[in-house]
Amino acid sequence: MKRLHHCTFLLLGFLFMMTACTEEQDFSQVDDLRVTPTLASGLFYMESDEATINSAGAFGSFYSEEVNFDAFNEQYVAERLIEGVITYEIDNTTSKELRLIIEFLDEAGQPLDAEIFTVEADPSETVIRDVPYGPGGKSIDIVANTSSLRVSAINLGDGTSVSSTDDPKIILRSGAQFVFRLK
CA 175-179-183 angle, to 5 degrees, is 150
The model's confidence at residue 140, banded by pLDDT at 50, 70 and 90, is very high
Sequence spans of domains, the chain: 31-180
Q: Classify domain 31-180 by CATH number.
A: 2.60.120
> How far lies 169's CA from each of 34, 98, 165, in Å?
46, 11, 9
pLDDT tens readout for residues 107-138: 999 999 999 999 999 777 899 999 999 999 99
pLDDT of residue 159: 87
Say if residue 163's pLDDT is above 90: no
Average pLDDT, the chain: 84
Q: Residue 90: name the closest of 149, 44, 159, 158 by CA.
A: 44
140 φ/ψ angles, rounded to the nearest 5 degrees: -65, -20
Express each pLDDT in 67-94 by its tens digit. Answer: 888 777 777 677 888 899 999 999 999 9
**Residue % of the chain over a pLDDT of 90:** 50
In our burial notation (b when 16+ CB lie closer than 10 A, e otherwise), range 73-96 reads eeeeebebbebbbbbbebbbbbbb
